[in-house]
Structure formats: C-alpha cells, structure tokens
Amino acid sequence: MGSTPTPRSFSLHPQLVEDCHALGQLRFCHLLLHRNAAVPWFILVPQTEVIDLLDLPPVLRSKALDDATRVSRFIKQQLGYPKVNFAAIGNVVPQLHLHVIGRREGDPCWPAPVWGHLKDTASYTAEQIEKIRRGIEALS
C-alpha cells in the first residue's frame, strides 16, 4: 500500500486500535479491519485532525473517498458482496473514520444496519488477514 508518511502528532484513537486489525496505509487513510469477522467491516482513518468528512478540504475529501472506493471494489470484486454500506458517523469515536462494510441478504443483521444489530461474532485468522491485505494492495 502507499507510503504516505504519518504526521508525528497523528495517532489512531485507542478504541479503533482495540477494535481493529491494522492492515496498512492507503493513499490518504490508515486501513483497519474490524475484529468481528461476521461481516467484512473496514475502517479508514484519514490522516487529519479534522473530525467531520464534509469539513475536509475538497482535495483531501477526494483522497479519502478514493480510498473508500478502493475498499468497496475489493469487497464487491474479491469478497463477492453485492452491497456496500458507507458511513462517517463518529459519535462514539470522535476521530474522523469511515466505515466501509460488505452486506448481503442473509448476513447476520440483514437488512438492519450493523450498528446495534450485529450480535454474531467471528474471528479472522492471521492467514485471512494477510490474504485481505494482499487483495486490497492488488487493487491499486
């Protein structure tokens, strides 16, 4: 993945670190994979102190959305999910982060949103995490 340097003052919110596997760096965002493998749930964290997506300068907002589009393509093309949910909510974790989640009929909380409805849990193996990392890198 890209080699954009992280500003010295930039760090991931502790809740994101606890909830996710770090996959690397995209063009503008840190790429995380939610630990709950019940649905493919990626979290992108733009390298910025801005807390709302719509407050980003247009060039940076475009970079963040390009990164989210790359992950969406991976979810659809490589994982076979027909639908992708996208959100930038940030009510619990104030750091700007983007949710990109693969959805399909019959998934553990279909058709409800994952927030507050995902009761099933599953874990990724180290091999699965590495396969996902390589798959996203290949979509550059």
Residues 6+ apart with CB under 8 A from 19: 34, 35, 43
Confidence at 74, pLDDT banded by 50, 70, 90: very high
Q: Is the pLDDT of residue 2 over 60?
A: no
pLDDT at 140: 65
pTM higher than the cut 0.85: yes
Q: How confident is the model at residue 1 (pLDDT cuts 50, 70, 90)?
A: low
pLDDT over threshold 90, residue 4: no
Average the pLDDT over each of 4-8, 45-49, 58-62 and give the range with the smallest value: 4-8
**pLDDT digit string, tens, across residues 125-137:** 999 999 999 999 9
Q: Which domains does the chain have, with CATH numbers?
A: 14-138 (3.30.428.10)
Residue range 20-53, pLDDT digits in tens: 999 999 999 999 999 999 999 999 999 999 999 9
d(CA 100, CA 77): 14
Quick one: pLDDT at residue 139? 82
Q: Please give the C-alpha separations between residue 138 and each of 10, 47, 71, 106, 121, in angstroms, as whole numbers.
A: 27, 22, 11, 28, 28
The CA distance from 109 to 121, in Å, is 11
Average of per-residue pLDDT across 72-93: 96
